[in-house]
């Protein structure tokens, strides 16, 4: 008899973070956990070392809670303790203590590169004509179309810098 699967294939393979932490001593303090999807997607190691966990004990499925950890994403260690936002996803694995050295001893072969983007770009053609017309209507002379200044989001995950 053949088995016919209905629906989509499960995106996440693993357990909820608080299922793992509630079954560990001291709610997993000092233990290493990984998100399975990060390690499948990127060649660099990604892991979290748990510092503090506060599971929501009113949730019968133990999906909710708050955890703080040292985050290493794609081989780059983040400053301080980061709040884990994705504990409700069933994508977590607890790394056995005798395998933790494999993640800790991996050194990134080369640092990730920044994407350089220009500080300014041209307006889209129709909008550029409208801007030039507005400048002419205000009585100013236009020698060249004005550039559009780019505003870049700044954050720890943003790998962009401007080339000035």
By the 10 Å C-beta count (0-12 exposed, 13-18 middle, 19+ buried), 105 is classed as exposed
Angle at CA of residue 14, ends 13 and 20, nearest 5° = 170
Residue position matching structure tokens 């607890």: 94
pTM recorded for the entire structure: 0.69
Gyration radius from the chain CA atoms: 24
Total residue count of the chain as it appears in this document:
164
Task: Supply φ then ψ for residue 83, to 5 degrees.
Answer: -80, 130
pLDDT tens per residue across all 164 residues of the chain: 888 888 888 788 889 999 999 989 999 999 999 999 998 888 888 899 999 999 888 988 888 899 999 998 888 888 889 999 888 889 999 999 999 888 888 765 566 677 788 888 999 999 999 999 999 999 999 888 899 998 887 766 676 766 66
Task: Supply φ then ψ for residue 139, to 5 degrees.
Answer: 95, 5
């Amino acid at each position: 008899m053949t088995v016919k699967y209905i629906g989509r294939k499960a995106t996440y393979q693993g357990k909820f973070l608080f299922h793992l932490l509630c079954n560990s001593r001291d709610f997993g303090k000092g233990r290493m956990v990984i998100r399975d999807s990060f390690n499948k997607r990127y060649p660099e190691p990604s892991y979290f070392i748990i510092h503090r966990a506060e599971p929501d004990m009113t949730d019968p499925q133990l999906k909710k809670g708050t955890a703080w950890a040292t985050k290493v994403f794609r081989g780059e260690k983040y400053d301080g303790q980061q709040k884990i936002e994705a504990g409700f996803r069933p994508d977590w694995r607890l790394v056995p203590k005798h395998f933790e050295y494999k993640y800790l001893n991996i050194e990134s072969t080369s640092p990730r590169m920044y994407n350089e983007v220009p500080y300014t770009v041209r307006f889209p053609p129709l909008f550029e004509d409208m801007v030039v017309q507005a400048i002419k209507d205000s009585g100013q002379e236009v020698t060249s179309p004005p550039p559009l200044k780019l505003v870049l989001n700044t954050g720890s995950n943003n790998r962009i810098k401007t080339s000035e």
